[in-house]
Chain A
Amino acid sequence: MSLLVLEAVTRSVELPGGGRLEILRGIDLEVDAGDHVSIVGRSGSGKSTLLGLLGLIDDPSSGRIVFDGMPLARVSGGRRDRLRGRDVGFIFQQFHLLPGRTALENAMTPLLYARGRQFWRRERIATEMLERVGLGDRLQSTPDRLSGGEQQRVAIARALVRGPRLILADEPTGALDVDTGSAVMALLDEVAAASGAALITITHDPGIAAMAGRRFRLDEGVLRPVDAADRAVAAPPGGAP
């Protein structure tokens, strides 16, 4: 059974002057545990909207999303929040770390919404995860005292502390230089593979996209697999967008 299935998903919004804007059209996608999927697209192609649907934070206008065998249309808001907290880890382009909180406190944030052992052992779990991403000596540093690469590694640790089954990375290297971006992606790939989680990377960088086993292109709201010809022109990993 696939972890995440999108069937004929569309997403449109009503425009202020009347009429509708179709952002996503007929999206079909299946993601299995352990998959590494990349989705490339230009700005305005609907990448962020798709991320919202994949991350269970938005509903499609039509079509069906099934997570772990459960059609999401039947899952209530609160249950979906808990499901998202437990099974989905987000990594954002601008890191979105909480200002004023230390790296440790940021990494602990998702564990505040966990129950039982995970909640009570949150500090230890977050410390171990930060050590794993190489930030064992920066636990008490606030985001303003961390470099871009370090901030993104804190964001990765935060996304992974609850052991999610799906990791969603939205432009994970967008705010980093080429070398740091490659290092961060290698780390993300490694920890995702080690945990057996599916990794979906949304990027406009063909080099980063090329690191994924399955590649898709989002163009004017339509998702297509990247064919061999596309692959040939794709830049090597870490290349310029």
Chain B
Amino acid sequence: MIGALVEAWAEFRVHRARVLLSLVGVVIAVAALAAVVGVGSIASQAQIEQLERGAGRPATLVLNPPYDPRTGKQADPAKLAAAFDQIVERYSITYAGSVLWSGGQAQFVDGVDAVQLTVVDPAYGPMHRVQLARGDWFSDRDELRLTPALVVSDAVWRRLGSPDLATHPTLTLIGRQPTTGVILGVLPPDPYVGNLQAYLLGSGYAALAPSAAPGASPLPMYEFWVPLELADPLAERIRAEVGAAFGEGWVVDVQRQDYLAWGAGDPLEPVRIVLLAIAGLILLLGALSLVNIALVTVRQRVREIGIRRAFGATAPRVFLAVLLESVVATVIAGFVGVVLAVILVQSDWIQGLIAPGLQDAVPFPVEAAVIGLVAATGVGALAGLLPALVAVRVKVVDAIRY
């Protein structure tokens, strides 16, 4: 085997120009194949991050406000908050918080406009991969501010005249009591989310809420980011504990809301399959040209094969050497193709095109490199098979007279 490899390498070295030219198709195909898989991974990560921004990271449990179906009564907000605090403390849940969506109004220079308000806890940021174009997300200390802290959408920031955050720009929200908040951070432009949007902490919302009286305002839901393997038992415990706090007859709903719980397939799968099919086709065409060239080459090398046989090369050895020549060449082509794919996929331009604002950098997937190299080796073996069979059938007596 080592001898055959040495022979194959020598053959590649001597005929490198011809072999490299014949491998152009294989290099392109392997690069395409590896790039498709690589781009697919990055696009998937981008897709996942987008989903996590909306529904939280796996596993996110959500506790909807309990209600009593017999009376139609909503839960007492203070009692619900106390139950939440108790759960967080008992199970040492690092990331948990309330979320409440509410409509509101904001005073701009050119008038009052409706603003979508999201009332959150500081933990919402890491739980939902909140990414800011400028400034900072809330910290626990922001709860103590006398002037509420705000994180606003790009549209709100532009409407305010794109002020420098170092100047502590403010936005006046109109609710039960007009409240002026200081803008800490600005979200990046997002075509999928409503234009005028602001995040604020629960302490800041108290003055804006329609009424402090129980049942007068919508209740928040509570989110918990927990380890994946503990999600189901914890959901059960939360349900039980909140149920116990409110008593019999109350409906307590605790569910997973992260994308992994949806059971949805990869939305990019069809595109990836089409691209893989195209890459496979290119690989096939590359292999065909390789077979063609290898067959012609073997016919030209009849005398050489005869000489090798005269000096002791057995038929299986000749078969292996010719086969390995093809494999060695395509493995090198595969390596070049994979390197090209890595350069392409990891380039800032491509990454910016596929997944702008990706939080967790995706290294070039190992499986993409492995698939590329395995495909190249397979093509080499297939393309080498036919010439190897021809080489074995060479009659030594005739070959050395050739």
Partner of A105, one of B10, B312, B396: B10
- The answer to whether B6 has its CB under 8 Å from any CB of chain A is yes
**B311 x A92 contact (CB < 8 A):** no
Q: Are B397's CB and A52's CB within 8 A?
A: yes
Residues A109 and B3 in contact in the complex (CB < 8 Å), given A96-B303, A98-B304, A100-B14: no
Give per-residue flags for A92-120: 1 if the beta carbon is below 8 A from chain B beta carbons, else 0. Answer: 10001010110001000110111000010
Contact of A58 with B by CB under 8 A: yes
1/0 contact string of B301-325 vs chain A (CB within 8 Å) = 0011001111111111100000000
Give the complex CA separation of A82 and B14 in angstroms.
26
Q: Which residues of A contact B6 (CB under 8 A)?
A: 112
Q: Which residue of B lies closest to A52 (CB)?
A: B397
CB contacts (< 8 Å) of A96 on chain B: these are 303, 307, 400
Task: Tell me the smallest distance from the CB of B2 to a CB of chain A, in Å.
Answer: 8
Q: Given A48-B401, A113-B3, A113-B317, A84 and B310 touching (CB < 8 A)? A: yes
Is B7 on the interface with A (CB-CB < 8 A)?
yes
User: Contact: A92 with B313, CB < 8 Å?
Assistant: no
Interface string of A195-213 (1 = CB under 8 A from B): 0000000000000000000
Q: Which residues of A contact B14 (CB under 8 A)?
A: 100-101
Structural contact, B309 and A57, CB atoms closer than 8 A: yes
In contact, B314 and A81 (Cβ under 8 angstroms): yes
Instruction: Decide yes or no whether A216 CB sits under 8 A from chain B.
Output: no
- Min CB–CB distance A111 → chain B (angstroms): 9
Most chain A CB atoms below 10 A, which of B3, B309, B310: B310
- Cβ contact within 8 Å between B314 and A78: yes
Instruction: Say whether A165 faces chain B, with CB atoms less than 8 Å apart.
Output: no
Q: For chain A, what secondary structure do more than half of its interface residues adopt (helix, strand, loop), or is it mixed?
A: helix
* A98–chain B nearest beta-carbon distance, Å: 6
Question: Which residues of B (279-306) have their CB < 8 Å from a CB of A?
Answer: 303-304
> Closest B-chain residue to A87, C-beta based?
B312
Which chain A residues border B396 with CB–CB below 8 Å?
52, 57-58
* B90 located at the interface, meaning its Cβ lies under 8 Å from any Cβ of chain A in the complex: no
CB of A153 within 8 A of chain B? no
B397–A58 CB distance below 8 A: yes
Contact, CB under 8 Å: B3 / A81: no
A131-147: contact bitstring with B at CB < 8 Å (1 yes, 0 no)?
A: 00000000000000000
Q: Which residue of B lies closest to A53 (CB)?
A: B397
Tell whether A90 is near chain B: CB-to-CB under 8 Å. Answer: yes
Known A81-B313, A81-B314, A119-B3: A109·B397 in contact at CB below 8 Å:
no
A78: chain B residues within 8 A (beta carbon): 314-316
Q: CA–CA, A55 to B314, complex, Å?
A: 15
* A25 at the binding interface (Cβ < 8 Å): no
Digit string of B44-88 for contact with A (CB within 8 Å is 1, else 0)? Answer: 000000000000000000000000000000000000000000000
Residues in B neighbouring A172, C-beta threshold 8 A: none
In whole angstroms, what is the CA distance A8 to B14 when docked?
45
Chain A contacts for B312, CB-based, 8 A: 81-82, 84-86, 110, 113-114, 162
CB <8 Å contact, B311 and A113: yes
Answer whether residue A217 sits at the interface, using C-beta atoms and an 8 A cutoff. Answer: no
**CB pairs A–B below 8 angstroms (12 shown):** A48-B401, A57-B397, A78-B315, A81-B309, A84-B311, A92-B400, A109-B307, A109-B308, A110-B311, A110-B312, A112-B6, A113-B314
17 more A-B residue pairs beyond the given contacts A78-B314, A96-B303, with a C-beta to C-beta distance below 8 A: A49-B397, A57-B397, A57-B400, A58-B396, A81-B312, A81-B313, A85-B311, A90-B310, A96-B400, A100-B14, A101-B14, A109-B308, A110-B311, A110-B312, A112-B3, A113-B311, A113-B313
